[in-house]
Every structure is written in C-alpha cells, then in structure tokens.
C-alpha cells in the first residue's frame, strides 16, 4: 500500500473572523450536495514543500464540510527523485531533458506505485509530475482524475513537455496557478478535460502563520544568534537555484556597505523529493564565506514552523528573490506577517504583490538592495506596505477560498 498521511482536525468556523461569514456560508452551501464524496490526494512527499503544507490544512477542512478526503504519498528511491528533479527543472525552463534510462525509471516507479494504490475513489487529485502516470495503470481506481500542477510551465524545455503532455491530456481536468502556466496543447483542447485556474493559499491559523507576540518572536530569534536589536533581512524558501539565495546574499552585501548593522537569515526546509537540496545548501554556505551576520538555517537545525514565524515576524525586510516561481506560498506567508516584502518579478509572485503598494517587485540583486535600503531607512513606508500586503492576502490567499474553489471543481466533475 502507498503511505497514508495522517492530518489533524480543523474546523471551518474557526476562520470566520478572518475571511468573513459570507465566504463561510458560500462554502457550506457548495458542500451540501457533495457530502460523502470520496477524494484522494496523491503526492510525492508529506513534508518539506508547499504542496504538503497546503494539504495539511485543506484535507481537514474538506472533511469538516463532509468530504471523505484522504492523502497518500508515493514510494520512491533516490534514482526516482533524481529523475523527477531533473524533470521539474526542465519543466521550469532548464534545457536538459531526462535520459532514456531516467525516463524508464520514472515510468517504472509510476507503474509500481499504481499497483500499490488502494481504495475506490470518486475523485483522485494527482499533485505535480511525480505521480502523473499512475492514472494510466489503474484508471478504474477513481471515477474522475484531476492533475494539480504546482510549478511554472510557461516556458518549459520542449522535449520534456512534449513527452508528458499526452499524459496530462488523459485527465478529466487539470488545475494551474495561472493561465500562462497552462501548456498550449491543453489551451487548444485536444479532447482533454477542463482547465481550472486556482492559486494556492496559506493557513492563517497554522503555527507558521498564527499571531506571535513580539516577545516570543524575539526570544526564538535570540536562540539562533539573531540580534533582535539590529535590522534583519530574511528569506524563507527551499535551497534551490531558482530561489536565488546567492542573489539575496549579494543584495545583503550591498545593503551592508551602507548599513553595517544589518543581518541576513536564509531559512529553508530540506525535502525528501529534492536530492539537489543539500548540494545547493552547501554551496550557499560556501558563498556566505563565514560571515557571522549571515545565518543559514534549515529544519535539521531545529527550525520548524514556529521558528519561521518568529524570523518573519521580527524581520524588517522579507524577501523571496526567485528567478522562477510557480506561486511561492512563502510570499503570502511573509505578507501575512504585515512586514515589508520584496520579491522577484516572476511567476506567481506578481499575483500576490502589487508593486509599490503591497510590496516591491525586483529583477536583480541591485534592485533588491535598493528597495531594502528604502524600507530600512523609511520605517513608515515599511508599515504601509506591510498593512496593505496583509489585507491583500486576507482577501485572496487564505485556505477557505481555496476550499471553495475545489468544491466548485468537484461540482463540475459531478455535472459532466
């Protein structure tokens, strides 16, 4: 059997004060005739990434409105995750396709996992490319299959997207963050199921996003050697070339020339489906060149959700300087702390950040440094950006809105 993932209990009513009674009532009405619907989520890992963070909240809320939702994680060894990481990078534009033997590994693991799939489902939601091919081996396991893509497919490496596109077309529906991520073959029809545009969302009540007192946040930061009496720049993301932590270090060094008291924290989690992560973590450490004011931390340094919350809550500048980004949940998480935010002008980040109003969008380390200096030297500007950013997230990027979108997709599948 595939590995089942246990999730906690959550109640939709607890979110009413944040998202408003109208949305909660709309969700209850949409769910009324979906009670008892059996939904399975399939993913590559149960921790260390945005997909798992979403599911730990979304699945309990689905259950709270009467959906019988479950989550299973596929089984894979290093050879499989090496191949799928190559695929992930190629789909985001890296011009290197899988070799014939790597494609075989990918296909064989999908077939093996498909044979381990148990249950009889109304809807199976397959997250990202890793388990994409499972549907073809056991289509009878679910009445409807939906592929949920969490990555940026706007400029994929042509041989890679051409190889997987026919497998996407076989699904009863697909879900993308943005319209520009949808591959051309799906836009043009080709007999595939409907395409849904549905940005992800954060859980405002999770340990990573709940309100922390300034005293508690300062205490946590102090445990990791961060001086809470000095300004802090902080980026929270995987250690991945697309997240550009080296560019963040460059920006920090420019800022540091004018404000020597500034500190930088680069905080990330190491995921089981990202074999490149350690290699890039080590190269980031090397690039920091033993600067005592650059803290490079991960979940194996005892950095968990509360610690991330504390770093974000204490930072004078929050950064997500990605060069490619499917969406970037860390952006909404940062904005939710009402702190000034600077992000790369790519992918799903501009959906969350209105440049100059809820944060700043940048395309280089120099621009990132310039905006950081503005915020650090104009505290009132930082407060304005922070307040506007939090309100934008409250309206558009909290989990109840995501739940509503999924209920609409389920209703559409039932109507077909």
Q: Identify the pLDDT of residue 44.
A: 95
Q: Is position 248 within any domain?
A: yes
For the chain, the 3-state helix, strand and coil shares in percent, each to the nearest 5, are: 50, 15, 35
Same domain, yes or no: 123 and 230: no
Among all chains, which residue has been given the structure tokens 């992560």? 277
Beta strands across the sheet bearing 341-344: 294-298, 263-268, 232-236, 317-320, 341-344, 360-362
Calculate the CA dihedral of residues 232, 236, 238, 244 and round it to 10 degrees. -60
Least confident of 43-57, 243-257, 351-365: 43-57
For residue 52, the surrounding DSSP H or E stretch is: helix 50-64
Q: Is residue 107 part of a domain?
A: yes
- Domain limits at 188? 3-201+398-415
- Residue 233 CA: distances (Å) to CA of 13, 239, 308: 35, 17, 13
pLDDT for 191 beyond 60:
no
* 404 and 392 within one domain: no
- Asked whether the predicted pLDDT for residue 48 surpasses 90, the reply is no
| pLDDT band per the 50, 70, 90 thresholds, residue 346 | very high
pLDDT band at 273 (very low <50, low <70, confident <90, very high): low
In tens, the pLDDT along 200-244 reads 999 999 999 999 999 999 999 999 999 999 999 999 998 888 899
Answer whether residue 278 is part of any domain. Answer: yes
Verify that 392 and 284 share a domain, yes or no: yes
Give the confidence band of 252 by pLDDT, cuts at 50, 70, 90. Answer: very high
What is the value of pTM for the model shown?
0.92
Same domain? For 164 and 310 the reply is: no
Q: Are residues 176 and 281 in the same domain?
A: no
Tokens of residue 343, six digits: 């992000």
Q: How many CB atoms lie within 10 A of CB 282?
A: 12
* Buried residues in 172-200 as b, exposed as e (16+ CB within 10 A): bbbbbbbeebbbeebeeeeebbebbebbb
Q: Do 172 and 229 sit in the same domain of this protein?
A: no
Q: What total of structural domains would you count in the chain? A: 2
What pLDDT band is residue 272 in, cutting at 50, 70 and 90?
Answer: low
pLDDT, residue 108, reads 98
Instruction: For residue 88, tell me if it sits in a domain.
Output: yes
What is the pLDDT, as a whole number, of residue 295? 97
Is residue 293 a part of any domain in this protein?
yes
What residues form DSSP beta bridges with 124?
Answer: 40, 145
Q: What is the pLDDT of residue 74?
A: 97
- 228 and 329 both lie in a single domain: yes
Q: Which residue carries 């009670």 as its tokens?
A: 35
**Are 381 and 405 in a shared domain?**
no
Residue 190, pLDDT > 80, answer no
User: Which secondary structure element, helix H or strand E, spans residue 297, and what is its range?
Assistant: strand 294-298
Domain contains 347: yes
307-315 mean pLDDT = 97
Q: Are residues 344 and 379 in the same domain?
A: yes
Supply the CATH number for residue 403's domain.
3.40.50.2000
Residues 177 and 315 in one domain: no
Residue 302 located in a structural domain:
yes
318 and 174, same structural domain? Answer: no
Residues 404 and 382 in one domain: no
Decide if 207 is inside a domain. Answer: no
């Amino acid at each position: 059997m595939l590995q089942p993932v246990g999730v906690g209990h959550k109640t939709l009513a607890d979110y009413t004060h944040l998202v408003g009674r109208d949305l909660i009532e709309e969700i209850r009405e949409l769910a009324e005739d979906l009670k008892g619907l059996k939904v399975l989520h399939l993913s590559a890992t149960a921790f260390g990434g945005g997909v798992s963070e979403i599911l730990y909240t979304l699945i309990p809320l689905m259950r709270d409105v009467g959906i019988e939702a479950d989550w299973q994680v596929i089984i894979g060894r290093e050879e499989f995750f090496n191949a799928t990481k190559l695929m992930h990078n190629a789909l985001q534009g890296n011009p290197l396709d899988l070799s014939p033997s790597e494609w075989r590994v990918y296909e064989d693991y999908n077939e093996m996992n498909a044979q381990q799939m148990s249950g009889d489902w109304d809807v199976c939601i397959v997250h990202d490319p890793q388990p994409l091919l499972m549907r073809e081996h056991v289509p009878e396991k679910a009445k409807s299959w939906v592929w949920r893509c969490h990555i940026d497919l706007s400029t994929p490496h042509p041989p890679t997207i051409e190889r997987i596109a026919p497998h996407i077309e076989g699904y009863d529906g697909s879900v993308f963050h943005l319209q520009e991520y949808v591959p051309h073959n799906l836009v043009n029809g080709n007999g595939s199921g409907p395409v849904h545009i549905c940005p992800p969302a954060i859980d405002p009540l999770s340990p990573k996003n709940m309100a922390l007192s300034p005293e508690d946040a300062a205490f946590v930061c102090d445990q990791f050697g961060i001086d809470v009496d000095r300004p802090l720049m902080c980026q929270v993301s995987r250690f991945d070339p697309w997240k550009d932590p080296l560019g963040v270090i460059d920006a920090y060094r420019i800022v540091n020339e004018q404000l020597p008291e500034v500190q930088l924290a680069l905080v990330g989690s190491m995921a089981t489906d990202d074999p490149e992560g350690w290699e890039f973590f080590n190269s980031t450490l090397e690039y920091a060149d033993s600067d005592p004011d650059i803290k490079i931390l991960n979940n194996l340094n005892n950095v968990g959700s509360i610690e991330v919350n504390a770093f974000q809550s204490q930072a004078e500048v929050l950064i997500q300087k990605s060069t490619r980004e499917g969406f970037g949940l860390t952006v909404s998480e940062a904005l939710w702390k009402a702190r000034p935010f600077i992000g790369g002008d790519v992918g799903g980040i501009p959906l969350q950040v209105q440049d100059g109003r809820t944060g700043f969008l940048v395309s280089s380390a120099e621009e990132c440094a310039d905006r950081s200096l503005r915020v650090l030297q104009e505290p009132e500007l930082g407060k304005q950006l922070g307040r506007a950013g939090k309100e934008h997230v409250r309206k558009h990027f909290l989990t109840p809105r995501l739940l509503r979108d999924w209920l609409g997709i389920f209703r559409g599948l039932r109507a077909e």
